[in-house]
Structure 1
């Protein structure tokens, strides 16, 4: 059974959602038969990379809030992340356009290392304060997950991988995805936002039942109460 996840690297709820899904999968009896694929989503395609600017300043300027309000929002999200074993350091976060990093993710998927690459990018961005729009930093991360560095370097400027990113974004638009993370299980069951583990468990059970019965009658989303997510107009 396949789980497709639309997310952006700069989305803090996407990393939290990843951990909650993993917790549900850990207890799922059929976890070894589940494939996870990370799909690209761009919260702000035109974002200007500025390593000097603090993320709180960026949010204040783009979301119409004060710097103090942005910091308070960051602290709240950091506390939420801590409950999932994640260590967010928003004081280190670099304002960077993630487009190139998404190309690297698309490249990693070809080697079956999409999940490892996504995890490493999240950690680099939210905990280490890496510039995910910097070629040298990205190549270093690619090397850490075992990717060929020369091919990874080529992928960063590849039109093919740029088109792969655009295709994922197009798919999200066709599905009506307004915020991320957004999970689609067995091409039928949708889960929006960083839902609690229990919600993922229920969705996994329903999707698996459908998968076993080989019901191939198209997407059939089961709306859930929306969890925390990032969207173009959100404050994350």
Structure 2
């Protein structure tokens, strides 16, 4: 079974949604599942160096007080799920293109899950700027990637076109917000839903996999 997870690494609901998917999967421990992290930049036109966090929130929410109200709800939700968000510590909203590229690079070594976890944690728990190359290189090494390879990769332009193409396809599919979870490229679940919301789709996708396996496996 394949689940494609469209998300942005600075989206708190994506971080919460990731945890909730993992909780759902803990109730299906024998379910074979491959997670594919797909890029979806919330701010594709963001300046390469990012923007001051206060200025960003004021523009996005129409004022800092409104931003505090919205983020208060997010923090309360995360706290109920046992997720230690530290939104007040974030100083800049970064451009996430390089972070998405790093996840893509990590996927070639089977390290996409670990890389994604490290980047979410870096931003939401450690209050690090995941648009900065030094931060990305440190997390790449922590994930197990070769530091020199990661440095050369980030210094170039590899996979930028592929990421833009993936985001374009996502919008053509009607994905307008993240997180969005697509199971076996047939069933979609949008938003940071409760773990129980994943169960019907997990079971349905598993039934399809079983049925396909039975069709293609010759009798003994």
Instruction: Return the alpha-carbon distance in structure 2 between the equivalents of residues 193 and 89 of structure 1.
Output: 21
Instruction: Return the alpha-carbon distance in structure 1 between the equivalents of residues 211 and 129 of structure 2.
Output: 45
Residues 212 and 158 (structure 1 numbering): CA distance in 2 closer, same or farther, change over 3 Å?
Answer: farther
Instruction: Return the alpha-carbon distance in structure 2 between the equivalents of residues 168 and 25 of structure 1.
Output: 26
User: What are the ranges of 5 or more consecutive residues in structure 1 without an aligned counterpart?
Assistant: 216-236
Aligned pair count reads 211
Contact 1:59 1:67 in 2 (8 A): yes
Contact 1:105 1:117 in 2 (8 A): yes
- 2:24 is matched with which residue? 24
| Largest Rg, 1 or 2 | 2
Secondary structure class of the residue paired with 1:118: helix
Instruction: Return the alpha-carbon distance in structure 2 between the equivalents of residues 50 and 174 of structure 1.
Output: 26
- 1:155 is matched with which residue? 153
CA-to-aligned-CA distance 1:107-138 (integer Å, 9 cap, x gap): 01111000110111101011111111111110
- 1:67 is matched with which residue? 64
Contact 1:20 1:196 in 2 (8 A): yes
Contact 1:155 1:161 in 2 (8 A): no
Contact 2:3 2:184 in 1 (8 A): yes
Q: CA deviation at 1:203?
A: 1.0
Q: CA deviation at 1:83?
A: 1.8
TM-score normalized by the length of structure 1: 0.85
Q: Does 1:143 align with 2:141?
A: yes
Out of 178-187 and 155-164, give the one that drifted further: 155-164
Secondary structure class of the residue paired with 2:45: coil
Q: CA deviation at 1:146?
A: 0.8
Contact 2:50 2:131 in 1 (8 A): no
Contact 1:87 1:127 in 2 (8 A): yes
- 1:220 is matched with which residue? none
- 2:88 is matched with which residue? 91
Secondary structure class of the residue paired with 1:87: coil
Q: Indicate the structure with greater helix content.
A: 2
User: What are the ranges of 5 or more consecutive residues in structure 2 without an aligned counterpart?
Assistant: 214-220
Q: RMSD between aligned alpha carbons?
A: 1.6
Instruction: Return the alpha-carbon distance in structure 2 between the equivalents of residues 136 and 113 of structure 1.
Output: 19
Instruction: Return the alpha-carbon distance in structure 2 between the equivalents of residues 181 and 50 of structure 1.
Output: 21
Instruction: Return the alpha-carbon distance in structure 2 between the equivalents of residues 3 and 144 of structure 1.
Output: 25
Q: Does 1:13 align with 2:13?
A: yes
Instruction: Return the alpha-carbon distance in structure 2 between the equivalents of residues 108 and 164 of structure 1.
Output: 15
CA-to-aligned-CA distance 1:152-205 (integer Å, 9 cap, x gap): 112213333212311321221232111100111111110111111001111100
Instruction: Return the alpha-carbon distance in structure 2 between the equivalents of residues 41 and 19 of structure 1.
Output: 18
CA-to-aligned-CA distance 1:23-49 (integer Å, 9 cap, x gap): 011111433x11111000111111233
Instruction: Return the alpha-carbon distance in structure 2 between the equivalents of residues 6 and 200 of structure 1.
Output: 15
| 4+ runs deviating over 2 angstroms | 48-51, 157-160
